[in-house]
Amino acid sequence: MTGHITMRVARELLRHDTSTDGFEAYCTLHVASILDRSMTQNTHRLPALTLALLLCSTAPQVLSGQAPGSVVAADPRVQGLTYTMEETGEEVPYALFVPSYYDSSREWPLIVALHGLGRPYDWVMGYEGYIDMAERDGYITVTPKGYHPRAWYGSRGEGIPRGAAPEAEQGNLPDNLGELGEKDVMNVLEIVRDRYNIDETRIYLWGHSMGGAGTYHLAAKYPDIWAAVGVAAPAPSAAPEQLESFVHIPIIALQGDEDGLVTTTRRWVTKMSELGMQHVYIEIEGGDHSRFINSSAETVSKLFSFFDIVRKDQLGR
């Protein structure tokens, strides 16, 4: 059973490999190892595993800088929305994608995606192939602002994170900036759950860089919500022991080996192994901190392939 499931995971992760204009990628399965835990006959579980994929690729295209709302303006499939944040009375933006064939008579999976430091609220919606894959695989996906582009989603505490923004030096940021960053994500999640027929066994969370730190934090604080989580080049300030708060949640970690955060990510992945967590680690050869995912449909596809095969009811939760 274990070998069968492991090979299925590998096949699923590789089945959506694609090429895009100006970017051909060649993927080599470098390491596949299983860290199996005991399984009972009454519980269907994805085995704990580490799957390291080193992707040999040419240099990807660069995702150009954006003003807030530029992806919404460029792609009619992406909705730019706002809501009134009760905690502050402000209108806060978020971006939403709903598949063109959405039918409220059935339940739909949801992906919550968190942007990196200083990025606009719709930034992740512009990642190479992201919306195409959400449409193809039938995911509703939402990208909150996190209240402020540098609020860290609460992962650096409820106050103003160090180096948050020049406004902090001028006293123009609320003292509870981190708390508001976290609250915004949870508010937007509830808005989408209320408006659409969401499958509660298939709510996923992932984030890039600062968003990866936010993903670790929100998985630890709200461990009963998520079916699985993903991090790309995460920048946590917490220790890997934070994983102990959500050991039951499967996780995929994506990391470029030329990014300065690779050592940190490897430490966290080692901790995942020690805890027996169900996890997949994909390390991209020659990958940097940003372009390895935001300009690579191939890397983005690994997230969707992972979420496609993990749900709460398969894990006895």
pLDDT in tens, 156-197: 999 999 877 777 666 788 999 999 999 999 999 999 999 999
Whole-angstrom distance, CA of residue 204 vs CA of residue 114: 11
Whole-angstrom distance, CA of residue 203 vs CA of residue 20: 28
pLDDT at 58 over 80: no
Radius of gyration of the chain (CA): 19
Q: What is the pTM of this model?
A: 0.81
pLDDT of 120? 95
pLDDT of 317? 63
Nearest to 34 by CA among 55, 4, 14, 11: 4
Domain limits for position 205: 2-314
pLDDT at 35 over 80: no
Kindly state the average pLDDT of the residues 43-54: 41
What CATH number corresponds to the domain at position 259?
A: 3.40.50.1820
Kindly state the average pLDDT of the residues 246-267: 97
Question: How many distinct structural domains can be found in the chain?
Answer: 1
* Pairwise pLDDT comparison (298 vs 317), residue with the higher score: 298
155 within 8 A of 216, measured Cβ to Cβ: yes
pLDDT at 133 over 90: yes
In what side-by-side order are the strands of the sheet with 198-208?
78-84, 91-97, 140-144, 108-114, 198-208, 228-232, 251-256, 279-284
